[in-house]
Structure 1
Amino acid sequence: MELIVRRDERMDKMSFPKLSLLRLWNLPRLSKFSSGIFSEFPMLRDLDIWNCPELKTFISESFEEKANTTMPSLFNENVAFPSLKTVCVEGVDGLKMIWQYGRLSNNAESFCQLEDVVVEKCKNLMGIFSSGMHTRLGNLQRLKISECEMVEEIFEMETSNCGIEEVAGKREGLETVVFLDDEFVFPQLREMELKSLPNLVSFYAGRHTLSFPLLEELEVIECLKVKAFSGSELLSYQGRHESLFSTIFPTKVTFGRDCKCKIKLRKLPNLMHLMEEEEEESSQQQPQTLAFPYMIDLEVVECGRLENLVPSSISFQNLNSLMLTDCDEMLHLLSSQTAKSMTQLRQLEIRSCKRMEEIISDAGVDHLKDSEIVFTLLDHLVLGDLPRLTSFYSGNYTMRFPNLKSLNVYRCLEMQNFSKHGITSTPILKNVFIGEESDLESELESETETESSSNWMVDINSIIAKHRTSHHHRSALQELSTEKDITPLNPSEE
């Protein structure tokens, strides 16, 4: 089957007034739904296309339209979906583009009810949306794009019909662009997943500010070329041809103040920073401390070039969970200024970061006398496989953990102390595991539990020092034993 509906030359329009669900599944020769005639689906709510490798467009264009088309798209001016809520496209290798705003139906309501967009395993797909499509995505709640190896951007830059005017003339090879609308807002988007997109460079490379006021979950996984979530920082500084840092959250991406957002970033080997350090003049105009006010969970895994988490000015006042694994370029996790803002943190796990020397650092922070860092709600702390870690914090602030119940430290063989200068307060700490394996020795557990119950403050520094001394003694004995096992050859035996 190559098409679903054959055109009747006597008709100038087709309508499917009662169709609410359309599934095109496992049609290996299907190239289009119909050809060359305007078709409307006024009641269609769900469109599911699966394993149709030859499909290139939903309704094919006329000869004249084809002559003016540089790249065919799945949806064009020949189709209208005013009630469509869900679009799922999987295994459609013939597609190059899905939505081109400038070539959509003149029906202003088409696609305006979209809530859920899923695009997977389309190996020749190059683009999802052109930039003007954001005006029709006011109801979009979920966006999932995965395993589309040719996609470089989710929203492609388009110089017409999206509030952008291109001015003639170039300066030093850069086109001068005037932006009439300066913000792309996704008012209902709650969940976004970008996964296994090996050529993805950014979500959007234009200059517009991106706004996600209700975003709750963001996952960026196995996107090997990702350096920036938006390309706005490439053009936001006059006279510069490239961004100051490779960042995933430039200063022109905003998240809502009333949403609680969970972010997962995995296998992004080119990512160097999560947020750009603003120039002093710029930061005075728009403080960065509002960047992540309601992010509650952050997980970062296998980002091998990530050098720091966020600038020292960033506040994480509502963060509940922070997990970092296999980020080998990081020397420290947080500034003491950022750490002081994390009063809601409950879980902190740092694992397998080969160059990590300390978790909290005073570097670049103006120190205040008689001050302290208090992790008010933190009850679970894991430090594992950090071969260069010497201390959790080596600055002069007092450290307090009033709610810490479990401390788990393993394979941190260079760790000399927990807090070098400050007094570490842990009034209810019950479980302390210090060891060399992930299933950790618990020889100290019963002792600390007993002493905790009698309101004793656990001296973490002493426990770490004791373990370090014990480890060095064991290492020395093993070396001595090895030397004794080596029997020199008798000269007569040579």
Structure 2
Amino acid sequence: MKPISLPLKKLVLNQLPNLEHIWNLNPDEILSLQDLLQVSISNCQTLKSLFPISVANHLVKLHVRACATLVEIFAAADAAINGETKQFNFHCLTSLTLWELPELKYLYPGKHTLEWPMLTHLDIYHCNQLKLFKIEHHSDEFADAENQLEEIPNIENLEVVCSSFTEIFCSQGPTTDCRKVLSKLKRLHLKNLPQLNAIRLEQSWVEPLLKTLETLEVFSCPTMKILVPSTLSFSNLTSLNVGECHGLLYLFTSSTAKRLGQLKHISIRDCQAIQEIVSKEEDHESEDEDEDITFDQLSLLFLESLPNIVGIYSGTSKLKFPCLDQVTLKECPQLKYSYVPDLHEFKPQEQT
């Protein structure tokens, strides 16, 4: 029987509580969906798997949310049962979202390899059992994420939310060319990581990220004490947003501040311990007192609910903000400096 070809390009399924299967076990005998580009599935509480491998070849976007019993994305084929390795070539996939799937364990239950060279958005949230990167040779073992990042070289947006990670980038990087890893990442978003001690941006294999990263957002990481090591230089960082990081005493040192020429926005909220934005170097000899610290592009500074902040910078170098035109200071009772818009600088507050 020749399969029926349907020109379906987008499939949306929402709130179908009794749906157990979207396709039967061998849909190619009935349907051919070579034009399917987008799939969005949410709130289908009895669904176990989504579809067979053949349906996924041309997908551009795959978004799955709140399916309580979903175990796998792609149903196992006979090859998986026989122990063969399946190759996934997602050459069109640009966006993958997996949200609140408590039983999801893998994309595919058998041994497989993944290729998704066009993927730019990967968003995984509350999928606590998911083992995304499976080693080809041992079906019961899984690779470290760092060793698989090379498979998504075009990723631009990376979010890590609600996890027990103690660090984001470990010391041992990928075994292949590190220049292909994170080389296009523009946004790093970290949230609700109660055990995170450090991001570890100083790892040598993470260097490509420092050249492309434009937005760094860190929220609810209460045990992290250092946001950015003093040795780092960000070529294109334009926005820094930090909130509820109660272990931080400062954002960055003076040497790092001098290498943030593209930074436009700084926002800090509800960080109980922070005392200043820029900290002077512990090694005072390394700090050039005659060299100004100039935030050439900074136009917005937002500080709110910082009960222990006493100043912007405690060192002796002069701070300059030639483009600063939006300043918000709220609930910072210990702050000893006020902003002077006409001079684009901070000066000590007059004692009353």
> Could you tell me the TM-score, scaled by structure 1's length?
0.56
Alignment of 1:22-421 (within 5 A): 45-61=9-25, 81-98=33-50, 104=53, 111-128=56-73, 135-151=88-104, 160-162=111-113, 186-195=116-125, 197=126, 199=128, 204=133, 206-207=143-144, 208-211=147-150, 212-220=152-160, 223-227=161-165, 233=170, 254-257=181-184, 261-275=186-200, 277-278=202-203, 283=204, 286=205, 288-363=206-281, 367-369=286-288, 370-417=290-337
| In 2: Cα distance, 1:128 partner to 1:340 partner | 47
| In 2: Cα distance, 1:55 partner to 1:122 partner | 11
Shift of 1:228: 7.5
Counterpart amino acid of 1:415?
A: L
| In 2: Cα distance, 1:137 partner to 1:378 partner | 40
Contact 1:199 1:224 in 2 (8 A): no
Secondary structure of 2:348's counterpart equals helix
Unaligned runs of 5+ in 2: 77-84, 134-141
**Shift in CA distance, 145/198, structure 1 to aligned 2, threshold 3 Å:** closer
Structure exhibiting the larger radius of gyration computed from Cα positions: 1
What root-mean-square deviation, in Å, do the aligned CA atoms of Structure 1 and Structure 2 show?
Answer: 3.9
| In 2: Cα distance, 1:297 partner to 1:315 partner | 14
| In 1: Cα distance, 2:173 partner to 2:262 partner | 34
Counterpart amino acid of 1:360?
A: V
Q: 1:342-383 CA deviation, whole Å, 9 max, x = no partner?
A: 111111111110011222234567825343322101011122
Secondary structure of 2:267's counterpart equals strand
Contact 1:86 1:117 in 2 (8 A): yes
Contact 2:13 2:40 in 1 (8 A): yes
Secondary structure of 1:290's counterpart equals helix
| In 2: Cα distance, 1:160 partner to 1:316 partner | 39
Shift of 1:341: 2.2
| In 2: Cα distance, 1:133 partner to 1:392 partner | 56
| In 2: Cα distance, 1:20 partner to 1:322 partner | 45
**Shift in CA distance, 190/198, structure 1 to aligned 2, threshold 3 Å:** closer
Shift of 1:80: 6.5
Secondary structure of 2:257's counterpart equals helix
Aligned sequence identity (%): 24
Indicate the structure whose relative CO is greater, using CA pairs within 8 Å and at least 6 residues apart.
2
Shift of 1:88: 1.6
> Could you tell me the TM-score, scaled by structure 2's length?
0.75
Shift of 1:277: 4.6
Q: 1:297-347 CA deviation, whole Å, 9 max, x = no partner?
A: 233233333333233333322122211111112222123333222111111
